[in-house]
Structure 1
């Protein structure tokens, strides 16, 4: 078990949210060194300061979060398929929360690109690094707004209130969701999806820090 080293957060995300300059000092590790603050902890492990899934189960925080900035690094193998779930209203239902995509951009759909809000909004720009290299996310949730800064570029700026119909995106394209995204919970646990897809290829996360916003 390893403690995670502190890191510096992107100023741009702080400006968007009006967070204080002391943000980094107030940030905390998302998961404890012994995963005591996690659900499904037995399905994941720390390996040299990196979180690695043992199987397909999602690792969830026991705490619920509403307004926050989440900072993390991820690395994928060839054919990896994972994601970061935000503020889930039901951890048994993967369609009950926004999922920020984590894989190697082999989905073939713009709504499945890395950094996309799965099946809802593609990133403005492909900032993904090749399999085996570390990528960086700063994800901000404040009310109905979700912002994703990916490897230094803001690629998602979404207001969930724009999704007013179930099964349909604002541009008229269909999605898989059973409720309008405006009705998604604004409070809930954060999750890291486990080994997913046919390949069951590994994915690694590290430097996971969270700053709670008012």
Structure 2
């Protein structure tokens, strides 16, 4: 038995221990932000087409913000779509773009969350990589840290086609993932732990549901503007 042959079993074990990149096989749905200027708004200016607790979400000078940690939801389900928006963190912001929600009363385990976080805040600087801004919360770390400091506007585009998800944050693809690869409710494909409160494997989750924006978390508000949506064919 030559030396190379004798190493093959060890190489096989190594490949199982360190799975490949958690990406979609056919590449990202997009690699840059779209021209969304003519797209319809995700929510009407008066928020009449949105679902949220009365008095929590308000429009101030064209910016949407919340006074509590409550979500503003679309009233309709969506599938195969692109959401494009801008957001501005405060110091300590912890928010998200929520997609495929099938139960708004118990949304955390029944939603895929694209994390919006002030990565630079002291309270969040040591969190797990899967909690960082631009990733899939609790499931997949962003490919790169590109969120801007608190007080600056960021742009994020979330493209969804069935189980295929792509996130572009500030001109960088931070996520390109196939939900079907998340077959465990407790472990992510890269071996990291899934928070127990997420409860479901992404492979078992619906790919149609409501879209939401998470509100003020603790004492750190978040601001949104230019939020638009388009069908993805």
Category of TM-score, reference length = shorter chain: 0.7 to 0.9
CA distance, structure 1, for counterparts of residue 36 and residue 174 of structure 2: 22
1:88-127 equivalences in 2 (<5 Å): 88-93=101-106, 94-105=108-119, 106=121, 107=124, 108=126, 109-127=128-146
Aligned twin of 1:11: none
CA distance, structure 2, for counterparts of residue 24 and residue 128 of structure 1: 20
Query: Cα 1:25–1:57, aligned 2, differ >3 Å: closer, same or farther?
Result: closer
Q: Return the offset for 1:24.
A: 4.0
Q: Return the offset for 1:72.
A: 0.3
Query: Cα 1:59–1:111, aligned 2, differ >3 Å: closer, same or farther?
Result: same
Partners of 1:101 and 1:113 within 8 A in 2: yes
Deviations 1:152-182 (A, max 9, x none): 0111001000001111101222212312111
2:207 is the alignment partner of 1:193:
no
TM-score (norm 2): 0.79
TM-score (norm 1): 0.85
2:86 is the alignment partner of 1:73:
yes
CA distance, structure 2, for counterparts of residue 23 and residue 84 of structure 1: 19
Aligned twin of 1:57: 70
Aligned twin of 1:154: 173
Query: Cα 1:75–1:26, aligned 2, differ >3 Å: closer, same or farther?
Result: closer
2:5 is the alignment partner of 1:30:
no
Corresponding residue to 2:203 among 154, 178, 182: 182
Partners of 1:23 and 1:211 within 8 A in 2: no
Q: Which blocks of at least 5 consecutive residues in structure 2 are unaligned?
A: 1-26
Query: Cα 1:31–1:104, aligned 2, differ >3 Å: closer, same or farther?
Result: same
Aligned residue for 1:83, secondary structure, equals strand
Q: Which blocks of at least 5 consecutive residues in structure 1 are unaligned?
A: 1-14
Deviations 1:9-40 (A, max 9, x none): xxxxxx9549xxx9747621000011111111
Deviations 1:90-136 (A, max 9, x none): 11221211111112114322111111100000111110110000000
Query: Cα 1:101–1:178, aligned 2, differ >3 Å: closer, same or farther?
Result: same
Partners of 1:101 and 1:118 within 8 A in 2: yes
Aligned residue for 1:210, secondary structure, equals strand
Q: Return the offset for 1:83.
A: 0.9
CA distance, structure 2, for counterparts of residue 25 and residue 126 of structure 1: 26
Aligned residue for 2:83, secondary structure, equals strand
Alignment length (residue pairs): 195
CA distance, structure 2, for counterparts of residue 53 and residue 98 of structure 1: 21
